C-alpha cells in the first residue's frame, strides 16, 4: 500500500476550523512532534478505561489520517527525518503512517472492530435504564412495602402525614 491508496480510502474533508487548529498545533509543537502525536492517536490498539480509542472503520480514524496528511504536505518545508534515513522527509513520514495503518489492520484481524450504531441487534435486548436501588442492590432485596404501610410506619414514628391541606398529627400522650 502506498500513501495515495491510503489517502484515497480514508480521506475526509477538513474545514477551515480544522486546518486552523492543525496549523496552530504544528506551530506550538513543531511538525515532528505533531506527526508523532497523530501516530499515537491513530493507534487502534490503545485501550483506555476498557474502551478502544480508535478503529479503522470509524470517522475519527479518517479525520486523524486527513489531519496527518494535511500537516505533512502543508508543512513540508519544515519536516525533517532522522539522520540515518536516506531519503525525502515526506516519504519517511508517509512510510510511518503506512506502517501504523498496517499495524492497525493486523491488530483488527485478532480484535475485530465493533460497530457502535446505537441500535440493538436482532434478537437482542437493550439494557434497561437504571432503576432506583440499582446503585445499592441491598435495598432492592428488601421487601417492598405498600403506601398504607409506609404511612402507618411514619405515623407510629411521629411524622406528620399530609393529604393536600389536611394533615394528620400524631396524638400526644399524657
Decide if pLDDT at 80 tops 80: no
Residue 2: pLDDT band (50, 70, 90) is confident
State the virtual CA torsion across 52, 56, 59, 61 in degrees, nearest 10: 80
Listed by start position, the domains of the chain span 3-110
- pLDDT given for residue 165 in this prediction: 58
d(CA 153, CA 145): 10
**Lowest-confidence region among 50-64, 109-123, 158-172:** 158-172
Percent of the chain with pLDDT over 90: 36
pLDDT at 155: 73
Contact at 8 Å (CB) between 93 and 72?
yes
Q: Across the chain, what does the average pLDDT equal? A: 79
Place of cell 493486523: 106
Average of per-residue pLDDT across 15-40: 94
pLDDT in tens, 117-149: 655 555 555 555 555 555 555 555 555 677 788
Q: What are phi and psi of 47, to 5 degrees?
A: -130, 125
> For the chain, what is the radius of gyration of the CA atoms?
30
Give me the sign of the Cα torsion angle 19, 24, 25, 26. Answer: positive
Reported pTM: 0.62
> Does residue 35 surpass a pLDDT of 60?
yes
Q: What distance in Å separates the CA atoms of residue 38 and residue 68, rounded to the nearest whole number?
A: 6
**Residue 45 scores a pLDDT above 70:** yes
Amino acid at each position: 500500500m502506498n500513501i495515495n491508496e491510503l489517502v484515497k480510502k480514508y480521506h475526509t474533508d477538513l474545514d477551515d476550523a480544522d486546518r486552523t487548529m492543525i496549523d496552530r498545533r504544528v506551530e506550538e509543537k513543531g511538525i515532528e512532534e505533531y506527526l508523532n502525536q497523530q501516530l499515537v492517536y491513530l493507534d487502534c490498539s490503545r485501550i483506555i478505561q476498557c474502551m478502544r480509542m480508535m478503529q479503522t472503520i470509524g470517522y475519527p480514524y479518517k479525520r486523524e489520517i486527513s489531519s496527518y496528511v494535511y500537516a505533512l504536505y502543508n508543512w513540508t518545508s519544515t519536516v525533517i527525518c532522522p539522520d540515518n534515513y536516506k531519503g525525502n522527509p515526506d516519504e519517511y513520514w508517509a512510510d510511518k503512517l503506512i506502517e501504523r495503518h498496517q499495524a492497525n489492520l493486523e491488530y483488527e484481524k485478532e480484535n475485530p472492530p465493533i460497530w457502535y450504531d446505537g441500535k440493538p441487534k436482532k434478537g437482542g435486548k437493550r439494557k434497561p435504564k437504571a432503576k432506583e436501588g440499582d446503585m445499592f442492590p441491598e435495598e432492592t432485596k428488601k421487601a417492598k412495602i405498600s403506601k398504607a404501610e409506609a404511612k402507618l410506619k411514619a405515623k407510629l414514628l411521629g411524622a406528620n402525614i399530609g393529604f393536600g391541606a389536611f394533615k394528620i398529627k400524631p396524638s400526644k400522650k399524657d
